[in-house]
Structure 1
Amino acid sequence: MDSEVIAASLPYALGVVMFGLGLSLTVDDFLRVGRHPRAVAAALLCQLVVLPVVCFGLVLAFGLPPEPAVGLMLVAASPGGPTANLFSHLFGGHVALNVTLTAVTSALVVITLPIVVNLSTAYFLADGAEVGLQTGKVVQVFMIVVLPVALGMLVRARAPRVARRLDGPVRVLSVVVLVVAIGTVLLGQRENLAGYFVAVGAAALAFNLVSLVAGYAVPRLVGAGHREAVAVGFEIGIHNTAFAMTVALGPALLNNAEMAIPAVVYGVIMFFTAAGFGRLLTRRGPRRSAVDGRAPVGEPG
C-alpha cells in the first residue's frame, strides 16, 4: 500500500485506538485526581512545563535541524501512552493513577499541543505560521483524541460486556498502529535515515532519561509515595508516540515525515530505558503489589 495512503489513514486508526482507551476509563478515573493531589500536580507540572522546557534546551544543545527539532517538541507535548500502565504494573506502580493521568493528559492535549507545536514551528521554521496547528487542525486533533475517548467511555458505561469484548482486539490494534506508523516513516525517509538517527538519537535518549527521572523525582520531592512516583515516572517517560507520529504525518495536520523521525526514535528507545529504569526502582524502592482496587472492565467499581 502506498505510504501516502497509510499516512492519510493513521488519524482514523488512532481514533480507534483512543476509542479503546475510552473503553478502559470511567468517570471515576477523572474524579480520582482529588485523591492523589500531590502526585497529579507533580505529573501535570512535569508534562505541561518541565518537559517542553527541558526538550527545548536539549534541542538547542544538540543542534537538531529544524524539522526534527519540532518533531521532538511534538513528542514532549504528546500525552502519556497506555504502555505506561503495563510498565507501572510490572514495577510496582500505582496503576489506577496511571490510568487517571493518561485520561487527564489525553484530554488536555487539545489545548497544550497546539501551543507547544505553534511556538516550536514559529521558532525553528521560517514558514512556521503556515505549518502550525491552527483552529481547523485543532478540531481534527479533538476528533481523533477526545471524542473517541468519550465514546469509548460511553460504551463502557452503557454496555460493559461489549467493552470487555472489544478491549483485547483494540489493544492489538494499538500495537499494529504503532508498527505501521513507524514503518511509514522509515519507508518515506529511508534515504535519510542514517543521518537523522545520528542527529536525533542522542537528543531523544537524553530527553527520555530526563523524563523518567523527573517523573519519579518531582512527585517524591512534593511528598508523594513511592508507588505514586513510579506511576508518574512511567507516565511522563513513556509518551504516546503513535499520536505524535500521526500528528506529524497527517495530511491535514503537519504533513511532514521529517517531524515524525524523533517519535520513531523515541518510541524504540523508551521500551529499553523504561525497563532499565523499572529495574533500578525495584532495587532502590519498596516493591509492593500493583493491585489498587480498581475493578476490571465490565465489573462494578
Structure 2
Amino acid sequence: MELLASLVPLALSLSLACLVATIGMQASWEDLVSVFRQPRRLGAAVLAVNVAVPAAAVLLLAAVPVAPAAKAGVLLMAAAPAPPLTAFRPLHIENHRAYAFGLYFALIALAVVAVPLTVSLLARFYGVDVDLSVGALAGNVALTVMLPLGVGMLVRRLAPGLVGRIDEWVGNIAVLLLVIAFFPVPVMLLPAIESLAGDGTLLVMGLVAAAGLAAGHLLGGADPTERRVLAVTAANRHPGIALIIATANGADPDVFAAILGVFLIGAVTSGVYERWVSRRPVPVHGGPG
C-alpha cells in the first residue's frame, strides 16, 4: 500500500509533464505569451479561475456542512489552478490554439504568486495554519511545467519534422500514465471515497465545478470557443499543486480522496458542459444583405 501511495503521485506528475511537453511541441513562444499581452483577457482569466472558484467554494462549504478533511480537499483544489489537460483538450480547434496555450501558460506562471496568496487568505479566514513553501511550489512548477515545456519547444525548434511523429505518442503516454495514476485509487482510498458520498461533499464538488464553468463562460468574451476554453479551465483544478500542499501538511487519506474527487468531478462536469455547448447553434452575426 505504501508503494502504491508513492507511485500514484509519481505517475500523475509524469503524466502532466508529458502533456506539458506536448504543449511545448505544439505552441510557439508568441502563443504562450499571447494572453499576457492582452490585459482584458488576462484579468478575466484571473477573475474566473483565481477569484470566482475559491469564493464559490467558501460560500458552498458555508451552506453545506461537510467533514473537515473533505472541506480541506475542496479548498486546496479551489486554490490550485490550471492542469495542462485544459490546454491539451482544445488542440483540434486550430484558430484558438494561441488562446488555449497562452491561457494555460499565464495561469501556471501566475500560480507561484496566486496559490500562496489564496491559501494564505483561506487559512486566515478559517483560522488554521498551513505550511506552504513558495520555493517548493516554484521548484515544482519549474520541474513539472517549465522544464518539459522548454524541452517540447526545443524539439519543435531543432527538429520540427520530428514533432508530427512523436507528439501524439507523448500525448498517449500521458493519458496512459494518468490512467495508471488513478487505477489504484479505488483500492487505496475506497473507504475515504465512500465517506464522501453521504454528507453532501460530492454535491459541493459538482457545484464548485459548475461555478467555474459559469464564471469562465460569462467572462470569456464574445467568442464562443474562447468562452468554452476559459470555462473548462476554471472548472478543472491542478491536483499536483493541491497534493504538494496536502503532503507538506501531513494530510490524512480523506484529504487526498477529496482532492482526487474534485479532479474527477471537474472532468465529468466539464465533459457535460462541452457536450451541451457543442449542441448549441453558433450565432451568425451580420446585417441584411
TM tier relative to shorter chain: 0.7 to 0.9
Shift of 1:281: 2.7
Equivalent residues, number: 279
CA shift digits 1:34-60 (9 cap, x unpaired) = 675533331122112222212222222
Write out aligned runs for 1:213-228 (5 A).
213-220=214-221, 224-228=222-226
From 235, 238, 247, the counterpart of 2:244: 247
Change (3 A) 1:56 1:181: farther
How has the CA–CA distance of structure 1 residues 206 and 77 changed in structure 2, closer, same or farther, with 3 Å as cutoff? Answer: same
Which residue is equivalent to 1:50? 52
RMSD: 3.3
Match of 1:191 in 2: 191
Per-residue CA deviation, residues 234-283 of structure 1 (Å, 9 max, x unaligned), is: 22223344x3564367x5x4553332323322333234322332343345
In the alignment, the residues of structure 1 paired with residue 244 and residue 95 of structure 2 have an alpha-carbon distance, to the nearest angstrom, of 30
Q: Which residue of 2 aligns with 1:259?
A: 255
The equivalent residue for 2:105 is 103
Identity %: 22
Q: CA deviation at 1:184?
A: 4.3
User: What is the distance in 1 between the residues matched to 2:37 and 2:121?
Assistant: 34
Q: 1:237 to 1:64 in 2, by over 3 A?
A: same
The gaps in structure 2 that reach 5 residues or longer are: 285-289
Matched ranges for 1:226-241 at <5 A: 226-241=224-239
The offset of 1:75, in angstroms, is 1.9
What stretches of structure 1 of length at least 5 have no aligned partner? 289-301
Question: Which residue of the partner structure matches residue 138 of structure 1?
Answer: 137
For 1:279 and 1:234, the matched residues in 2 are separated by 12
Taking the TM superposition and a 5 Å limit, the aligned residue runs for 1:30-45 are 30-33=32-35, 37-45=39-47
Distance of 2:91 and 2:151 partners within structure 1: 26
Instruction: Give yes or no for contact 1:20–1:167 (8 Å, CA) kept in 2.
Output: yes
TM-score, normalization by structure 2? 0.79
Q: Counterpart of 1:52 in 2: which secondary structure?
A: helix
Please say if 1:159 is aligned against 2:159: yes
Q: In structure 2, do the counterparts of structure 1 residues 17 and 247 end up closer, same or farther at CA, with 3 Å as the change threshold?
A: farther
- Report the equivalent of 2:79: 77
CA shift in 2, pair 1:12/1:194, >3 Å? closer
TM-score (ref. length: structure 1): 0.76
> In structure 2, how many angstroms separate the alpha carbons of the residues matched to 1:29 and 1:45?
21
Rate the CA distance shift 1:22–1:113 in 2: closer, same or farther, 3 A: farther
For residue 23 of structure 1, the aligned residue among 19, 25, 48 is: 25
Number of the residue aligned with 2:272: 276
Distance 1:262 1:191, change over 3 A: closer
Say whether residues 1:3 and 2:1 are aligned partners.
Answer: no
From 59, 62, 77, the counterpart of 1:60 = 62
Q: Do the aligned partners of 1:95 and 1:231 also contact (CA within 8 Å) in 2?
A: no
Report if the CA contact (8 A) 2:80-2:242 is conserved: no
1:27 is displaced (CA, Å) by: 0.7
Superposed CA deviations along residues 109-141 of structure 1, whole A, max 9, x for unmatched, are: 222223333444565575x34xx2214422432
